[in-house]
Amino acid sequence: MDFWTAFPYWGILVLIAFNAWLVIRRDI
Amino acid sequence: MDYLQENYFTLLLTFLYVGGCLYVGWYFKRQAAQGVADYYVAKRKIPGWVVSLAFFSTSASTNTYIGQAGKSFQFGLSWAWMGLIWTIFCIISWQLLGPRMRAQTARLQSFTVPDYFHLRYQSNLAKYIRLLSAFIILFATVWYMAGIAKGCAVVLETVLDVPYLWGAAAILFITCAYTIWGGMYSVLWTDAIQGIIMFGVAILLLLLPFLFVGGVEELFTSIRQTEHVTKTGEPMGNGLVTFGSLVSFLYILGIGLSIGMKQISEPKNLIRFYSIDNAKSMRFAMIWTPVFLGISLVCVMGLGALVHGMVTAEEAAYLIQDTDKVVGFMLAKFDNKLVSGICVAGLFAAGMSSLASVIIIIGTALVKDIWHVVLPMPEDKLIPRTKWAMLAYCCATFGLVWALHLYPLAGIVELTAFAGAVFAASFFPGIFGGLYLRWGTDAGALASMVTGMVVNVVWRAFFRFRFAGLQEVHEVIPAFLISLLVYLLVSRLTARRKPAEDHLQLVFGEA
């Protein structure tokens, strides 16, 4: 499996972690 | 008797599941009848974890678990980019719209998305924006409802031999019953239960090809180089694991945007923000909704490609012609009653959660945003009439499913994606501007709404398929960009139509 085919499978975890970091920083 | 022996486990699970949904509806019947705030938005008192799961289960439907999962049988593992694109829009929706939408709709006493336009822009023209947006909802949603009812009916027919039209009627009217009884309370709580089932089933579905073949390495060995053919009869070779081989990235981007952008614009998603009980719950939902949605979608979107490891070349040549059959075929091939029963419950959950969400949106749009605006009615008539409107619309949808059964229409999936593009281009600018821009005006919102519809239709009818190179540029891209630009431009040009300052102070929480 090449890099760009595999990307969404691990990219989703990075995206979720990044989103959680953004939410934690906000004062809702 | 053989039928019962053959299907007892699936039947038992199905009855338990349907009984559970109906019980939830009945349980909230009295509470939901207390007033419009209860029936329409569950009095804004729903915990974050329930709303989070409900947002996820509403966003994914049988179209996702059957249609999109099957697509990767044709397009390979890179179809999972769809899941990534959808999750990006889920995050944008919660980060950009969630907290502000909850706050503003509570301050304005808004109960539906069309009435938000009216209350935020506060003018006679805004009344017409409310009416127009309600009509867009009615037209765009009927195809979606018919598509889901069809998807569930196919599952019932293939797994339990229930005649197609009986299956469609059962799904529509069972969902209609618990939605009518418990209003938004039952929609959200059943959605949450369905979300848990769907999350588990997405992971289970992904595991099946690996279990069938006997391991990760074994499965990847068989799909890395395959003799199976594409739809046009060419050998796939290493296409299933090679980016851009079986489908172009532009095509993935177009479909991904048109469906993914529903999450920043479609009323059944946005109405979720209205019901959250407090800021702590909002924070929980902002973190966890992308987890539920993202992981489920990535599991499901790559599933079809993995099924190549389970089927023979002849079976693959048959399935490639109708990829909607891939998931059902995989379950039949795996041949385990327990697994099939659980997965069928998951597919029902996917269909019914989305169906219930749109049924209540339709009822509220018809009664509160059209009937009540044209011919105002006493407050105590709103809920009973909303219930009748929901029942009438379910009957009309069943009529459409029946008609489509007699006279099949090929492009129903395309129509659903097109409806998503109309929502994204027509609703997002007016909502985003309402939430963030004090200088946004009613004229800007109306102009962008009309522009969104017109550009969608014109691009699709006159540009997309007439010029080489534009075929894969989905209409949502030009329509969204142009309508957003029109909102900003017209709002600037009609600055004097801005609502009064004391109203804006209420909207932005400065009063």
pLDDT tens-digit map of B403-448? 887 877 666 666 677 788 888 899 999 999 999 988 899 999 999 9
For B473, which DSSP code? S
Is the pLDDT reported for residue B184 higher than 60?
Answer: yes
Question: Which residues of chain B does A17 touch, with a Cβ-Cβ cutoff of 8 Å?
Answer: none
**Is-contact B280 B99, C-beta < 8 A?**
no
Count structural domains, chain A: 1
CATH number at B368 reads: 1.20.1730.10
pLDDT of residue A1: 66
The mean predicted confidence, pLDDT, of chain B is 86
Q: In whole angstroms, what is the distance from residue B388 CA to residue B386 CA?
A: 5
pLDDT tens-digit map of B444-480? 999 999 999 899 888 878 776 667 776 667 788 899 9
B196–chain A Cβ distance below 8 A for any pair:
no
Q: In whole angstroms, what is the distance from residue B426 CA to residue B367 CA?
A: 21
Question: Which residues of chain B does A25 touch, with a Cβ-Cβ cutoff of 8 Å?
Answer: none
Of A8, A12, A19, which is closest to B287 when you measure between CB atoms? A19
Burial of residue B437, with CB atoms counted within 10 A of its CB: 0-12 exposed, 13-18 middle, 19 or more buried = middle
**Is-contact B54 B187, C-beta < 8 A?**
yes
Q: In whole angstroms, what is the distance from residue B264 CA to residue B55 CA?
A: 12
Question: Which residues of chain A does B80 touch, with a Cβ-Cβ cutoff of 8 Å?
Answer: 8-9
Assess if residue B470 is contained within a domain.
no
Please judge whether A5 and B76 are an interchain contact, meaning their C-beta atoms are less than 8 angstroms apart.
yes
Assess if residue B438 is contained within a domain.
no
In percent, how much of chain B has pLDDT > 70?
A: 95
Q: Containing domain of residue B103, as a range?
A: 11-408
Tokens of B278: 């407090």
Q: Containing domain of residue A21, as a range?
A: 1-28
Count structural domains, chain B: 1
Please judge whether B286 and A5 are an interchain contact, meaning their C-beta atoms are less than 8 angstroms apart.
no
Question: Which residues of chain A does B76 touch, with a Cβ-Cβ cutoff of 8 Å?
Answer: 5
B100–chain A Cβ distance below 8 A for any pair:
no
For B5, which DSSP code? H
pLDDT tens-digit map of B279-313? 879 889 999 999 999 999 989 889 999 998 888 88
**Is-contact B304 B328, C-beta < 8 A?**
no
pLDDT of residue B497: 83
pLDDT tens-digit map of B340-399? 888 888 887 888 888 899 899 989 998 989 998 888 888 788 889 899 899 998 999 899
Q: Mark which residues 25-84 of B lie under 8 Å from A by CB.
A: 76-78, 80-81, 83-84
pLDDT tens-digit map of B73-108? 988 888 999 899 989 999 999 998 999 898 999 989
Please judge whether B295 and A8 are an interchain contact, meaning their C-beta atoms are less than 8 angstroms apart.
no
Please judge whether B88 and A15 are an interchain contact, meaning their C-beta atoms are less than 8 angstroms apart.
yes
Of B83, B95, B99, which is closest to A8 when you measure between CB atoms? B83
CB pairs under 8 A between A and B: 66
pLDDT of residue A28: 67
Residue of B nearest to A20 (CA): B287
Tokens of B284: 């929980």
Please judge whether A19 and B290 are an interchain contact, meaning their C-beta atoms are less than 8 angstroms apart.
yes
Distances (CA, A) of B346 to B109, B354, B461: 36, 13, 37
| Helical (H) or strand (E) element with B147 | helix B124-160
Assess if residue B196 is contained within a domain.
yes
Assess if residue B322 is contained within a domain.
yes
Label residue B51 by pLDDT band (50, 70, 90).
very high
Residue of A nearest to B294 (CA): A12
Question: Which residues of chain B does A19 touch, with a Cβ-Cβ cutoff of 8 Å?
Answer: 91, 95, 286-287, 290
Nearest-Å Rg of the Cα atoms of chain B is 23
C-alpha neighbours within 13 Å on the C-beta side of residue B488: 7
Tokens of B134: 């309600």
pLDDT tens-digit map of B313-338? 878 888 887 787 788 888 888 878 78
Of B84, B243, B291, which is closest to A11 when you measure between CB atoms? B84
Q: In whole angstroms, what is the distance from residue B133 CA to residue B125 CA?
A: 13
Burial of residue B325, with CB atoms counted within 10 A of its CB: 0-12 exposed, 13-18 middle, 19 or more buried = middle
Residue of A nearest to B87 (CA): A12
Assess if residue B326 is contained within a domain.
yes
Assess if residue B185 is contained within a domain.
yes
More confident residue, B112 or B9: B112
Overall average pLDDT of the B151-168 stretch: 80
How many C-beta atoms lie closer than 10 Å to residue B379's C-beta?
A: 10
In percent, how much of chain B has pLDDT > 90?
A: 33
Of A3, A5, A15, which is closest to B77 when you measure between CB atoms? A5
pLDDT tens-digit map of B193-236? 889 999 999 999 998 999 888 888 778 888 777 767 777 777 77
